[in-house]
Structure 1
Amino acid sequence: MELPGRRGEALLGELETRVRAVVRASSWWERHGVDCAILALSLLALPAGFLCLRSGNVLVFALGIIILGVCHYTLTVKGSHLATHGALTESKRWSKIWALFFVEVCTAFTAEYANYGHVKMHHAYTNVLGLGDSSTWRLPYLNRYVYMFLAPFLIPIVTPLVAVERLRKMEPAVALRSLGLISLGLCSHYWLLMNVSGCTSPGSALACMFITRSLLAHPYLHVNIFQHIGLPMFSLDTKPQRIHMMSLGVLNLPRLPVLDWAFGHSIISCHVEHHLFPRLSDNMCLKVKPVVSQFLQEKQLPYNEDSYLARFRLFLSRYEEFMVQAPPITELVGLQ
């Protein structure tokens, strides 16, 4: 009789073989080029965004805010996510450089804690209570409407503050580097608004910084809770094998053009694929999606998908259960 653990390892091995064949048959452009091009275009679009803010025309000014906001989230969410996983390049040295640029300069967070919290905890212990269960996104003292509609505005303010708090726990040299890169990013953004966009006062420059950095904060917060919270949760002692853990505890949202561009496929429509193969780029996650979904369905494993609106309604109606009360541990007899 085959042991459940060995069956899970065999299933994952079979899936890895199929996915590896797709990756090997793919060009550099498919593996890395498409996503690098999106990030490069976002960087190249920044001057246009800053210059649009000089205009007295309301529509042109609004266009500048949209350009800067979308570019900001493309660099900070998509760029940071791919760089943290080493999915932008196969060079470890350049992966480190890109992580410092996208996470610390662009996002105003620390690369070390981004890697620890996301890669080493969330991915290694997906939906395991107390470890990788997305509990950092749960704020039980907020009611559902404040959390879903107002709390996202705090993200651009809280992010650098949390980063500074984390610096106390880091080695002095690393902390100084992170503080310097975070300061460089924030000060550069402020300087460009004052000297290129023509903001007439520090207050107007800070207001523009806040607006652009919170433009997509609502979907960013929502997506982070929709994809895991409310799905099966596990204890460390009884967590299932990796393939079961990812198929049960991860959810894909449908393709949404703006969020696909700014957040990336691996965060939106290919989150299951990303958790199974975290080093794949967004474009490669999209390419292997049919292989992964077909395999899981063949093996009668869950492949969770739901719409953004359906998840939004679900969280509003069951907010107390998902975000306030401690989630119950799912018992999976025969899968441990």
Structure 2
Amino acid sequence: MQDIPEEWREVCTDSCQGVALFQRGDKAGKPSDRESLMMELAQLVQKTVQESSWWERRGVDCTILGAAFACLPAAFLLLRSSQVLWFTLGLLLMGTAHAIITIKGTHLASHGALSESRAWGDFWAIFFIEVCGSFTARVGVHAHVKMHHAHTNIIGLGDSSTWRIPFLPRSVYLFLAPLAVPVITPLVALAQLRSLPPRPALRTVLMVTVGLYSQYWLLLHVSGFQSVASTLLCMLVCRAMFSLPYIHVNIFQHIGLPMFSPNRRPKRIYQMTHGVLNLPRNPLLDWTFGHSLISCHVEHHLFPSLSDNMCLKVKPIVSKYLKEKELPYQEDSYLSRLCLFFRKYKELMVFAPPITELVGVQ
């Protein structure tokens, strides 16, 4: 146990008690029983990570992101074509590349999973979140890492409430509203500037402008678009292409699962195993969103600093351990969750979710 490095201890302890509980332990000099499960699992995962090559830890995911950028020149050139087939192929290629960069890339960058260097990690967060994702890096990292991950399914803190729009009918919310995400995202970023110091606020404005205008300029001068309206429409279609599954995945994997009170929150391993769900492997979404957002979401919430590929590698270890300890390892299909949300939309997305008490497990 003493070999676990500091960064691993942080994911093994409750945010209210910190590392001190692990270091203090019980009267026998051993870690508290309530913390030992997470520590034991962390050791198993840490051993696998240490035995893995750089290619497994970061190289695979960096290559996928690099391939997405490499596809963009072909996409811009295909969009020059007057033939429907080639134009459609260019649209699909650009939309897919954009999803990989802005969903998989921003997610990995927000967790610092693209580089072991802190400076490079900060650079990639700004590049992917602000230039590519049209959002502010500081607010994005705080909302996702500091709130959603630290307080997963805690009512009012990390309960995915930002995705609730209770005044919308279920069909509009599930199938139409997500298409507006590319427009809403930069507008929300601008609204968040008031909470930022002048320097990062100015940087955000510049980076978001560079990202949006560069695509606009290339569509005009490389793809040959003739009007502002057609250029903006193309940008919207490409950026909204994966918005539906993106919003679906965000709500499917947490909402509808046990929710907890801020005052009586469970220990981390119980919080994550009860409040997080894995979707099955999907070739398209695995490539565009990353394993940590699809089939390895439980692993990601337990060990958020791991890359997508490492989450996939430790998945058998985590699932086996949780099942051996009789802890939930929740999985469900995309279609099953969609039907559940369509059927129980008011209960899950309009009304306040009930609080779960994990009696007798801690």
Equivalence for 1:286: 312
Equivalence for 1:241: 267
Query: Share of identical aligned residues, percent?
Result: 59
1:61-80, CA deviations, whole angstroms, 9 ceiling, x for partnerless residues?
A: 11111111011010111000
Deviation at 1:331, TM superposition (A): 1.2
The correspondence for 2:251, drawn from 222, 225, 236, is: 225
Deviation at 1:335, TM superposition (A): 3.7
Distance in 2 between the 1:194 and 1:81 partners? Answer: 30
The correspondence for 2:118, drawn from 84, 92, 95, is: 92
Distance in 2 between the 1:146 and 1:7 partners? Answer: 47
Equivalence for 1:306: 332
Equivalence for 2:135: 109
1:166-214, CA deviations, whole angstroms, 9 ceiling, x for partnerless residues?
A: 0111000110011000000000010011011110101110000000000
8 A contact 1:250–1:304 mirrored in 2:
yes
Residue 209 of structure 2 corresponds to residue 174 of structure 1 = no
1:98-157, CA deviations, whole angstroms, 9 ceiling, x for partnerless residues?
A: 000100000100000111100000000000000000000011101110001101111000
8 A contact 1:108–1:160 mirrored in 2:
yes
Across the aligned residues of Structure 1 and Structure 2, the Cα RMSD in angstroms comes to 1.2
Amino acid across the alignment from 2:72: L
Amino acid across the alignment from 2:323: Q
Equivalence for 1:202: 228
Q: Secondary structure at the match of 1:304?
A: coil
Equivalence for 2:280: 254
8 A contact 1:8–1:243 mirrored in 2:
no
Distance in 2 between the 1:255 and 1:64 partners? Answer: 26
The correspondence for 1:155, drawn from 181, 184, 201, is: 181
The correspondence for 1:316, drawn from 309, 321, 342, is: 342
The correspondence for 2:93, drawn from 64, 67, 79, is: 67
Deviation at 1:262, TM superposition (A): 0.7
8 A contact 1:266–1:273 mirrored in 2:
yes
Distance in 1 between the 2:217 and 2:35 partners? Answer: 53
Distance in 1 between the 2:59 and 2:182 partners? Answer: 29
8 A contact 1:8–1:244 mirrored in 2:
no
Q: Secondary structure at the match of 2:224?
A: coil
8 A contact 1:110–1:163 mirrored in 2:
yes
Residue 137 of structure 2 corresponds to residue 141 of structure 1 = no
8 A contact 1:53–1:197 mirrored in 2:
yes
Distance in 1 between the 2:356 and 2:314 partners? Answer: 29
Equivalence for 1:16: 42
Amino acid across the alignment from 1:315: F
Deviation at 1:8, TM superposition (A): 3.0
Equivalence for 1:26: 52
Gaps of 5+ in 1: none
The correspondence for 1:51, drawn from 77, 80, 102, is: 77
Q: Secondary structure at the match of 1:168?
A: helix
8 A contact 1:241–1:335 mirrored in 2:
no
Distance in 1 between the 2:77 and 2:314 partners? Answer: 40
The correspondence for 1:185, drawn from 201, 211, 217, is: 211
Runs of 4+ in 1 over 6 A off after TM superposition: none
Distance in 2 between the 1:188 and 1:16 partners? Answer: 43
Gaps of 5+ in 2: 1-25
Distance in 2 between the 1:67 and 1:205 partners? Answer: 16
8 A contact 1:240–1:335 mirrored in 2:
no
Residue 302 of structure 2 corresponds to residue 268 of structure 1 = no
1:39-60, CA deviations, whole angstroms, 9 ceiling, x for partnerless residues?
A: 0000010000011100011111
